[in-house]
Structure 1
Amino acid sequence: MKDRQSDVAVRAALAKLVASQVGGHLALDFCNTAGEHLAERPDELLKDWESFVRWTVQVGLIEPELYGELVDSPSPIDEVWELREEIYHVGLTLALGDPVAEHDLVAIREEANAPKPMVVSDGGRVHWRPDSQFASQQLRAILAGEALSLFCSRRSARIGMCGGGLCGWLFLDESRGKRRRWCDMKDCGNREKARRYYRQLQKSK
């Protein structure tokens, strides 16, 4: 009975979405775990270790079966935040078409060079198997590696930034002519349309 209740609790926890996945790439979705990212104080979506582990499950980085084990071995969230901001800075630089400075890559490289989790086959599925004792470092190593792979590829020229106010979310713009403007038309896109409508209404008075 306890196991069943535990399973229900885990499923309920995992059903709570941490952040929308609109980036089109794992590294960019990681960057987008801070809302209003251009604001002086962004809205932190990775509030603690549990929400980070939950996010890694939701984006398919780790298997749901590992959620409870990793949550029960908490790590400080600060290093996760720091890596995210390092990656975001480089991603934003590329989105704006500016050159990336060598020193901006140092921290990401160091994280990417750290040991990664073991890769295992479980029931025919191949997936990462973090060690609960070193999960934070190992998961950060994956995310840093994903970011560098993107930044070193031709797809880096496709990184765009949402034009909605202080949103600042990043995404891979796969549209023809690179014309995508919003992280999500239903979110920032609709808000901007509402703002334009209101401004036009005010002008017509």
Structure 2
Amino acid sequence: MTVLPAISTTAFALMCSDRIRRQWEHAASTDHLTGLANRRTLTEVGNERFAIAKIKGPSLAAAVLDIDNFKAINDTHGHEDGDKALIHVAFRLQVGTRKSDFIAQAGGEEFVVLMTGLDAASAGAAAERLRLTVEQDIFSIGDEAIPLTVSIGVALYDEDDRNFADMLRRADKALYLAKSRGRNRVELAV
């Protein structure tokens, strides 16, 4: 009977192609270094959560985080150690967030955390906890402890935002305010 080997071969080929498809989907949606969602996936999830906030009410917050003085780490220790710092911060963000929060690496040394079910005070407090989670955990290169801190800008859903990109822009402006006010701090968008 030659039918059974043909069916087995076809089933095996289909199983392999499905696994390869899933691997490609994962690679297309994930930052290869940190394992976090990438900017493309952030945009998709952000748009979905923004649409829900428009219907159910303003309980969406976007926190944009940037590693302070990251260029100095790359310049002093090299890009390989800079990559280790990114991985370290990504891990700390995973430790410091709730299961319902969404974390993405937006590019370079910038991360975004989407949080739901929070008012302005709670979103600010959550961002402050993330800041402390990064600051208080020692990052080392060899025997040298390297201080890592993040500046954070937080924007809550606002009815004047036309889309998720508007909300993210406001969070980004708050981030730059945090940087200009001395770094290693949280600023809420107005």
TM-score (norm 2): 0.27
TM-score (norm 1): 0.26
Which structure has the highest strand share of the two? 2
